[in-house]
Amino acid sequence: MISTIPVRRAPALGVGLAVLLALLGAVAFLSVTQGARDIGLAEVLRALGGLGVNEEITGTVTLELRVPRTLLGILAGAALGAAGAILQGVTRNPLADAGIMGINAGAAVFVVFAITVLGIQGVGVYVWFAFAGAIIATLLVYTIASLGREGATPVKLALAGAAVTAGLTSVTTGVLMTNIDALNELRFWQVGALAGRYMPILTGVAPFLIAGLVVALGLGRALNGLALGEDVARGLGQRVGLTRTVAFGVVAVLAGAATAACGPIVFIGLVVPHLARALCGPDYRWTLPYSMLLAPIVLLLADVLGRIAGAPGELQVGVVLGVLGAPIFVLIVRYGRMSEV
């Protein structure tokens, strides 16, 4: 509960945000410069300034590959971190993330539909089907959970999410078992990656991600009210149903757009909010911005590590996070306080 945690002073928390912002800048620099072809700072600046007349390969790698990849990692990471924190707050479930709320499964089943029924190929095209599937799945979960007199309680949301995820995953698996072409096409999206996501994908999802992040920052006080319990929140004048509806809408946009562009990226939305609360406490006015900065730091570091570990090729960021995220989460469960959401 909020009352059991010592309150951090706002100036110290503001300094913490500044440190994380600087760290994010350093990690973004590594993301642009490190890889199969290392690029120095001077080369990056020449490419960005259009001065690299004799550096065509460097300019192409920097502007068409590394910069969009890094910017997408920042936006998608921030979106997944914020979505995870909001879900854990609105459901009061420390294990809530996009994966168990049907978002990943909804995106996957729509991608499979686009591939098998419409014959669409290429991430740049079926990213929009994934976005639509993620949003529809989220709305379906919330609608099912809202049935009944109590409305969308945390327990009903978790159960509805698990049921929708299981059903959609079964549909996806059934189609893929009978269509090898769809399986081959889907696996490039489903592994979770920043590689191969070019500028059109970034510019397509960026408005949704930025708008969702802005709205998410305004949910801190409402989530603090829900953390005290529904009865207390109502006693304080909060409209619990409206808060949940807005929160789920924001999660659908953030996690849906990030998942559509990058594929299902595991552990970011689950682990990062716990790391954020360990640094700033349970006040969601601070947990949300901390999560928005920590998540892209973790995501970009994992992406850079995948390039270095897999050289001359690379390991996709979804694989790296799956390997590293599991033991980190075990440590959080072992030594952290999972109930304080």
The per-residue pLDDT for range 204-243, each reduced to its tens digit, is 889 999 999 999 999 998 898 887 777 777 777 778 778 8
Where helices occur in the chain by DSSP H, the ranges are: 10-33, 41-48, 56-60, 67-91, 103-116, 123-146, 154-178, 180-190, 199-217, 220-227, 230-235, 240-262, 268-280, 284-309, 317-335
By residue range, what is the domain housing residue 284? 2-335
Q: Is residue 56 part of a domain?
A: yes
Q: What is the mean pLDDT of residues 134-141?
A: 89
Q: Is residue 150 part of a domain?
A: yes
Q: Cα angle at 139 between 137 and 141, to 5 degrees?
A: 70
**What is the spatial distance between Cα 214 and Cα 9, in angstroms, rounded to a whole number?**
24
Q: Helix or strand or coil: residue 256?
A: helix
Q: Among positive and negative, which fits the CA dihedral 125, 126, 128, 131?
A: negative
Q: What is the mean pLDDT of residues 323-333?
A: 78
What would you report as the CA-atom Rg of the chain, rounded to the nearest whole angstrom?
A: 20
Burial label for 34, CB within 10 Å (0-12, 13-18, 19+), is: middle
Count of domains for the chain: 1
Q: Is residue 341 part of a domain?
A: no
Per-residue pLDDT of 198-207, as tens digits, reads: 888 888 889 9
Q: How confident is the model at residue 6 (pLDDT cuts 50, 70, 90)?
A: very low
Report yes or no on whether pTM surpasses 0.75: yes
208: CATH: 1.10.3470.10
**What is the spatial distance between Cα 341 and Cα 323, in angstroms, rounded to a whole number?**
25
Q: In the prediction, which pLDDT does 1 show?
A: 40
Q: Is residue 340 part of a domain?
A: no
pLDDT at 337 exceeding the cut of 60: no
Q: In the prediction, which pLDDT does 129 show?
A: 87
Per-residue pLDDT of 62-96, as tens digits, reads: 667 788 889 999 999 999 999 999 998 888 888 78
Mean confidence (pLDDT) of the chain: 82
Q: What is the mean pLDDT of residues 243-267?
A: 88
Are 257 and 78 contacting, i.e. CB atoms less than 8 angstroms apart?
no
Q: Is residue 113 part of a domain?
A: yes
